[in-house]
Structure 1
Amino acid sequence: MDRHERLSALLDMVGQREKIDVEASAEELDVSPATIRRDLDHLAGRRLLTRTRGGAVASNVAYDLPLRHKAARNAPEKQRISAAAARLVERGMVIGLNGGTTSTEVARALVLRPELAERDGSPALTVVTNALNIAHELAVRPNIKIVVTGGVARQHSFELTGPLASLFLDQITLDLVFLGVDAFDAERGAFAHHEGEASINRLLASRARQVTVIADSGKLGGHAFARICDTAAVDQLITDSGADPAQVAAFEAAGVEVLLA
């Protein structure tokens, strides 16, 4: 295993476990603890993880981990959430999807629905997205018309942001947008870690007849750097069954329908 493969493996381990130990990682990757320490110092210098005494954690820098290194977090919950979201989609709809691991799972779940199969060469639905990875996966599906916003790509999330994306979104309307978020609080609203992503997500929400936030329970009750929208702008929340009942009640009291997957 060369250094590039080892660094990638360490990021995968942090993404899946959120905390790793130098000695255990050295044994798992069959290298010396000193090598692992140098690797972790290198990744910490690039702000891809945070060094701790005897290891490293990802919790404080989740916003900086590339998308593929976050995909394994809460994977079963995200798959259940995405399946519940896909069931809300009807043939002929125009759907909005922003970036993120849960939104990516929704895109994959849409492909699997037999009700949305291609008929007579016509696509079953239109998906508008600012996420390059989602566009890449759906572009080869004949049953889905994929529309990409344009804009400048962010390396960590694969999302397109900036004025080009805004110019495009100003010209369209959506039936339903599935909004992946970094945090959602019943009083303070929905948040993203990056201000550019928050701006595009806010515009996506403003162009939709229905706004559905898709978030695992770990993202509820907190906040991040940039606000996407107020809670009043959200019609529905799909989260997992591990959500705190008090938080669920708070969202419902704020007028948000909550679906537990």
Structure 2
Amino acid sequence: MSKQERWSKLLELLAVEGKLDVEDAAAAVSVSPATIRRDLDELAEQRLLVRTRGGAMAHGVSYELPLRYKSSRRTSEKQRIAGAVADLLAVGDVVGLNGGTTTTEVARALVLRAGGGSAEPGESQSGPMYTVVTNALNIAGELAVRPQFKIVATGGVARPQTYELVGPLTVGVLNEVVLDVAVLGVDGVDPELGVMTHHEDEAGISRLFAQRARKVILVTDSSKMGKRAFAKICGLDQIDVIVTDSGIAPDIAAKLSEAGIEVITV
């Protein structure tokens, strides 16, 4: 298990339990307690958690997420997807993130990358490494305390089920920005109908994210492939890359590739 995978697992455990014990965490990820102590110290330096005697506890509101976030399925797949997306983003990019469990993992993967890596040649770490535009309150809350990120929260009316901001205020902000990359989580991808989500208000905001971006990356586990949902976000012609797990059906992957989309499986 790599360091980033270990950190992601520790944060996942923290999100569920609210606190971590060094000995229990070491057993969960099969490393020594000394390694866990170093990991927790480094994560605390990045304000991802609060160090306690013998372990750690969640940092502020960062992990006070709705139940659907705490009990989300396919966590390991989503973390692998998130890591692959982070590798596609360049220092200095303006990145749009809508709400959802997978885009939340993308935000966390960017935190780990920004905290653990060095600047690219010619880049300075004195300022933000990424600008993130998001309509997700939980993502904005996790990233706002980190100097490596400039955060633009859209404003709008909050949907308590997903922490997403929607409505005219959200549209107004998005109409004033230009994105390098939009990273979108969705509820369904159909080779004929396109990309969908369950709620029409969220669909409209995700559609605008796509329209404001030079490049659109779809992030979803393979369980959403071939599925339909109520509200259409956009057609496949607006999607440049899909990052998913290796469980995607070969025929669906082939149809997506035929539509001109780069399909990355992890």
> Which bin holds the TM-score, normalised by the shorter protein?
0.7 to 0.9
Quote the Cα distance in structure 1 between the aligned partners of 2:155 and 2:162.
15
Q: TM-score, normalising length from structure 2? A: 0.71
Shift, 1:78, TM fit: 0.4
Greater mean deviation of Cα atoms: 116-125 or 246-255 = 116-125
Quote the Cα distance in structure 2 between the aligned partners of 1:174 and 1:205.
9
Shift, 1:242, TM fit: 1.0
Quote the Cα distance in structure 2 between the aligned partners of 1:166 and 1:234.
20
1:184 aligns with 2:189: yes
Quote the Cα distance in structure 1 between the aligned partners of 2:138 and 2:110.
15
Aligned partners of 2:217 and 2:241 also within 8 Å: yes
1:164 aligns with 2:169: yes
Counterpart in the other structure of 1:232: 237
Which has the higher Rg, Structure 1 or Structure 2? Answer: 1
Residues 102, 120 of structure 1: alpha-carbon distance in 2 compared, 3 angstrom cutoff: closer
Quote the Cα distance in structure 2 between the aligned partners of 1:203 and 1:66.
27
Structure 1 counterpart of 2:222, one-letter code: S
Q: Which runs of 5+ in 1 are unaligned?
A: 1-11, 13-64
Matched residue count? 197
Counterpart in the other structure of 1:137: 142
Aligned partners of 1:153 and 1:159 also within 8 Å: yes
Counterpart in the other structure of 1:68: 69
Counterpart in the other structure of 2:62: none
Shift, 1:115, TM fit: 3.7
Quote the Cα distance in structure 1 between the aligned partners of 2:228 and 2:118.
35
Residues 116, 211 of structure 1: alpha-carbon distance in 2 compared, 3 angstrom cutoff: farther
Shift, 1:153, TM fit: 0.2
- Superposed CA RMSD in Å reads 1.6
Question: Which residues in structure 2 correspond to 1:198-217 (within 5 Å)?
Answer: 198-217=203-222
Counterpart in the other structure of 1:110: 110
Counterpart in the other structure of 2:88: 88
Quote the Cα distance in structure 2 between the aligned partners of 1:196 and 1:69.
24
Quote the Cα distance in structure 2 between the aligned partners of 1:70 and 1:198.
23
Counterpart in the other structure of 2:265: 260
Shift, 1:186, TM fit: 1.6
Structure 2 counterpart of 1:246, one-letter code: D
Aligned partners of 1:66 and 1:155 also within 8 Å: no
Q: TM-score, normalising length from structure 1? A: 0.73
Quote the Cα distance in structure 1 between the aligned partners of 2:118 and 2:86.
10
Runs of 4 or more above 3 Å deviation: 114-120
* Percent of residue pairs bearing the same amino acid type: 53
